[in-house]
Amino acid sequence: MSDTTMTVAARARIPDIARAAGVSTATVDRVLNGRHGVRAPTAQRVLQAAAQLGYLLGAAVPATQPPRTLRIAFLLPTGTNRYLRMLGDYIEFAHDQWSALDIRCRVHYVESFNPSELAARLLHCGQRADGVVFMALEHPVVRDAVNALADQGVPAITLISDLSNARRLAYVGIDNRAAGRTAGLLLGRFMGPRPAGKIAMLAGSLNYRGHEEREIGFLHLIESTFPQVRVIGLREGHDDSERNYLQTRRLLEQHPDLAGIYNSGGGSDGVARAIVEAKADQKILFVGHGLTPDTRALLIDGTMDALITQTPQSMVGNCLKIFRNVHDKRDALDDVKPVQFNIVLRENLP
């Protein structure tokens, strides 16, 4: 080895290799230490730069094999919930983004509110995927299916709605109880100085733990902070626009003095249609979930007063980061930030 080469080798550091290869120091560290998560062409570029700088002199440049692509199955409910459909479209249309992470995602739509069907599809997809993401129904057969996947070494992540007492890998979604409390606070504040009033709540289905938690948070906040407000009977709309329309019409016929409605699930356009048709003397307040083109229009025309939402990008990104962490033998939640929800009004529409 010449004096010049030895000097170069002595001076070569990870930042030098990063600059030469046009990548971050973290990427260089991963390649030099043989960890996964770097695309093969990038890894080769790093190794070549390291060799040219003398960093690897005296050692053979390790052969690089393209990392095995992770196959991730997303199971989402069928139906008219436009937010969930938008979520599915986002997963399917972002192929290039997932490919850069050596991940292939596929969306499967499962019959809504059918725990046996969901359990069967979980087991079926688990045979063909390295990980499964699903919106959980709170039911023993679903719990058993998740535990069976865990026994087979297939990790499962619950999305939007969690599952109790199951060996799922992680939950990705908002704090649903906090979301329900926030909806209660919004409706109570929006009602202003009215001496008393009635408000109603619609849920997608209380078979979803997430919707149940939203109900608990909502009712507790109203009871503790606005005792003058009366919450009338809970209705389940199954995220269906037509069903929500009929439920809301019935509510307004039975309670013409209804002051506000909280829809904790999907199908808000059906609620809005019934509110508009009612032509009430006093504005009926309306708080819902999920920013979609439909709810955006309802905020703009004033039928909806506020909604609580989270971005599909943050939820899907967290799921994939968790699977990559497990694959790379890191802690599952390493560098995974909790999903936060936003309160969207007409005046702060993104």
Local confidence pLDDT in tens for the 350 residues of the chain? 444 444 444 456 788 888 888 888 888 877 776 665 667 667 767 777 777 776 654 444 455 555 678 999 999 999 888 999 999 999 988 877 777 778 999 999 999 999 999 999 999 999 999 999 999 999 999 999 999 999 999 999 999 999 999 999 999 999 999 999 999 999 999 998 776 789 999 998 889 999 999 999 999 999 999 999 999 978 899 999 999 999 999 999 999 999 999 999 999 999 999 999 998 888 999 999 999 999 999 999 999 999 999 999 999 999 999 999 999 899 999 999 999 999 999 999 99
- pLDDT of 2 reads 42
Residue 291: closest CA among 244, 234, 343: 343
Q: What are the structural domains of the chain?
A: 3-52 (1.10.260), 70-174+312-339 (3.40.50.2300), 176-309 (3.40.50.2300)
What global pTM score does this model have?
A: 0.79
Q: Express each pLDDT in 93-111 by its tens digit.
A: 887 777 777 899 999 999 9
For 89, residues 6+ apart whose C-beta sits below 8 A from its C-beta are none
Strands (E) in the chain, as ranges, are 70-77, 103-110, 131-134, 156-159, 170-172, 197-203, 229-231, 235-236, 258-263, 285-289, 306-309, 342-344
